Amino acid sequence: MIENRMVGGECPYFACMPAKAMLHSAEIRYNASQFQQFGHASKEPIFDNEIEGYAAAVAIRHRVAEHLDDTETAERFVQSGAKLIRGKGTIQQNDIVEVNDQQFGYEDLVLATGTEFNVPPIKGLDDIDYWTSDDFYTSQDLPKSLIIIGGGPVGLEIAQIAHRFGSEVHILEAASNIMPTEDREIALELQDLLISEGINIHTNIQITNMIKKDNVEVELQSDKSVIGEKLLIAAGKRNNLNNININNLNLSLDPFKPLPVDKYLKVKGAKNVWAGGDITGIAPYTHTANYHGRIITSNLLGQKIEADHSAVPRGLYTDPEVASVGISEEKAKELKLNYAAASHPFGDTARGFATRKGSGRLKLIADLDNNKLVGASVVGPNAGEIIGEAVLAMQANISITEFAKAIHPFPTYTEAYEPPLRELATKIK
C-alpha cells in the first residue's frame, strides 16, 4: 500500500471522529444551558468562558483522534502482513507505479485516493486566509464570528459546534435551502431548528467579492454583505487524479470528475484497475469506502461480487441529527414514479412527548406500483440509528405491506414508523 498522508484516510483524524467528539461536547454544553427548563437548577448555570470551554473540547478531540498520529493504525496494518510505503504514488504506465523514485510493477492496481477540498472561484478569495474543515478541527482557536460557505453536512456540523461555544455563525448557501440534495421538507425542518437556535442561515446566495480588512467581508449580489472574523470553505469535495498521472492509463478520463467504475468496482476501460471510496462519486461516505474495500478485496480473490448501492445510508450529526436512504420526494417526482409520501413527527410519539425531545419527523417514500420503500428521511434524535430500520427493509426488499406489520417497542422513537407505514399500506393496490 502506498500512502502519502494518513493510513485510514481523513475520517479518523480530521473529519468523522474529531467532528463527533466536538459535536458531543457542544451538545452537552447546550443541554446544560437548558437545565432550568427541566427543573435541574433554580438559577441559570454559570459556565467557564467560551475560550476555556472550547479548549477543553479541543483536548478531548485530540484524544479521540490519537493526537492526529496514525502510527498505531499503520503498525496494525503492517502486522497483518501487508507492506506500507510512505510517499506519493504516480502511475507511469498501465503496469508501473512510481513512489519515492522507485518503480513497482503490478498485476492489479487499486485507486483509493479520496478527494480534495473544492475551492470555488470567488473574486478576492486568494487574498483571504480561509479555513477548511481540516483547519477547523485542528485549530486551538475559536473565532468570535465565523462565515461558512456551504450548507452541506460539513458546514452545518461546524456551524453548530462553533455557535454552541459562543461564535456568531453565518452560513452562506447558494441553493434555496440547506442540504439541497436531501428531501426538502426534512432539510427545511432542520433549517428552522438551527435558525431558532441562533445560527444565521442565508440562502439563494451569490457571492460577488471578498475583502480582507480587520475582518473578512463577503459581498453578495443583493448589495448586502456579511462580515466575520474568519472564513471557512465547506463547498464540497472534488477529485484530483491528475496528481497521480491518471491519464497514463490511456483511458480518456477527466481527472477532476468521479472515476467511472462497473458493478465490480473495476475502472471502466481498464482490465486491472479498481477504484473505491469517494473517487467513484458513489455515496461519498466512510461506510461506503469500507464497503468498497470489502468488495474489491473479494473480487481480487476471485469471488466476483457485485457492489450494491441501492440502500446506502447518509448521515448528518447535528443536534438534531439527519439521516436518509434512497431517494427524496423531489427525486421521486423527477423520476415520475407512482409514489406516495407519508411522515410522522417525533413529538407525537410517547418517547418524544415524555422527553420533550420531539423535534423533527420521519418521512417515508413508497413506490406504489412495486409495493416497496424507495426512500426514507429522518430529522430528529438518534436519526442515524433510526434510519437503520429503513436501510434493512430496502436492502432485504421487504414490501410495504409486510413492513407495516412490524411491532416496535414502546416507548421509542422508532414507533414513528408505524403511522406512515400503515398509511402507505392502504394505498397499495
Regarding whether 245 and 218 lie in a shared domain, the answer is no
Regarding whether 165 and 76 lie in a shared domain, the answer is no
Residue 296, φ and ψ in degrees, nearest 5: -65, -45
Whether 284 is in a domain gets the answer: yes
Percentage of the chain with pLDDT > 70? Answer: 93
Regarding whether 400 and 259 lie in a shared domain, the answer is no
Regarding whether 142 and 196 lie in a shared domain, the answer is yes
26: domain range? Answer: 2-115+238-300
Q: Is 235:173 a contact under the CB 8 Å cutoff?
A: no
Domain with 276 in it: what CATH number?
Answer: 3.50.50.60
Regarding whether 247 and 152 lie in a shared domain, the answer is no
**Grid cell digits, residue 194:** 438551527
Whether 348 is in a domain gets the answer: yes
pLDDT at 377 over 70: yes
Residue 131 is classified by DSSP as: B
pLDDT at 279 over 90: yes
pLDDT at 18 over 80: no
Instruction: Give the type of residue at 258.
Output: P
Q: For residue 168, what pLDDT band results from cuts at 50, 70 and 90?
A: very high
How much is the pLDDT for 376?
Answer: 98
Regarding whether 232 and 247 lie in a shared domain, the answer is no
3-state secondary structure of 75: helix
Query: How do beta strands 2-3 and 372-380 pair?
Result: unpaired
Report which of residues 13 and 170 the model is more confident about. 170
- Strands (E) in 150-236, as ranges, are 168-172, 200-202, 207-212, 216-220, 225-228, 230-233
- The DSSP line for 86-104 is ES--EEEETTEEEETTEEE
Give the Cα separation of 230 and 169 in Å (integer). Answer: 10
Q: For residue 39, what pLDDT band results from cuts at 50, 70 and 90?
A: low
Least confident piece of the model among 69-73, 74-78, 170-174, 182-186: 69-73
Regarding whether 111 and 62 lie in a shared domain, the answer is yes
Give the Cα separation of 350 and 410 in Å (integer). Answer: 8
Q: For residue 146, what pLDDT band results from cuts at 50, 70 and 90?
A: very high
Whether 164 is in a domain gets the answer: yes
Residue among 149, 157, 119, 145 nearest 220 (CA): 149
Q: How many CB atoms lie within 10 A of CB 234?
A: 25
| Domains: count for the chain | 3
How much is the pLDDT for 48?
Answer: 65
Regarding whether 262 and 331 lie in a shared domain, the answer is no
Give the Cα separation of 304 and 370 in Å (integer). Answer: 29
How much is the pLDDT for 197?
Answer: 94
Regarding whether 94 and 30 lie in a shared domain, the answer is yes
Mean pLDDT of 64-69: 64
Regarding whether 145 and 108 lie in a shared domain, the answer is no
Q: For residue 196, what pLDDT band results from cuts at 50, 70 and 90?
A: very high
Boundary of a domain, candidates 236, 254, 280: 236
How much is the pLDDT for 27?
Answer: 83
Least confident piece of the model among 77-91, 148-162, 165-179: 77-91
Whether 308 is in a domain gets the answer: no
Cβ partners under 8 Å of residue 28, min gap 6: none
pLDDT at 166 over 80: yes
ω into residue 320 within 30 of 0, thus cis? Answer: yes
Mean pLDDT of 236-249: 87
Domain with 414 in it: what CATH number?
Answer: 3.30.390.30
Regarding whether 15 and 105 lie in a shared domain, the answer is yes
Residue 213, φ and ψ in degrees, nearest 5: -120, -120
Least confident piece of the model among 32-41, 75-84, 100-109, 345-354: 32-41
Boundary of a domain, candidates 236, 256, 284: 236
Q: Is 219:210 a contact under the CB 8 Å cutoff?
A: yes
Q: For residue 50, what pLDDT band results from cuts at 50, 70 and 90?
A: low
Query: How do beta strands 216-220 and 207-212 pair?
Result: antiparallel
Report which of residues 38 and 89 the model is more confident about. 89
Give bridge partners of residue 207 from the DSSP assignment: 220
Whether 88 is in a domain gets the answer: yes
ω into residue 411 within 30 of 0, thus cis? Answer: yes
Give the Cα separation of 54 and 22 in Å (integer). Answer: 9
Whether 307 is in a domain gets the answer: no
pLDDT digit string, tens, across residues 109-127? 999 998 888 999 999 999 9
Boundary of a domain, candidates 300, 335, 354: 300
Cβ partners under 8 Å of residue 398, min gap 6: 372, 373, 392
How much is the pLDDT for 32?
Answer: 75
Average pLDDT over the chain, rounded to whole?
90
Give the Cα separation of 392 and 421 in Å (integer). Answer: 15
How much is the pLDDT for 82?
Answer: 83
How much is the pLDDT for 68?
Answer: 59
Whether 305 is in a domain gets the answer: no
How much is the pLDDT for 36?
Answer: 60
The structure's pTM equals 0.90
Mean pLDDT of 293-298: 96
Regarding whether 46 and 135 lie in a shared domain, the answer is no
Whether 80 is in a domain gets the answer: yes
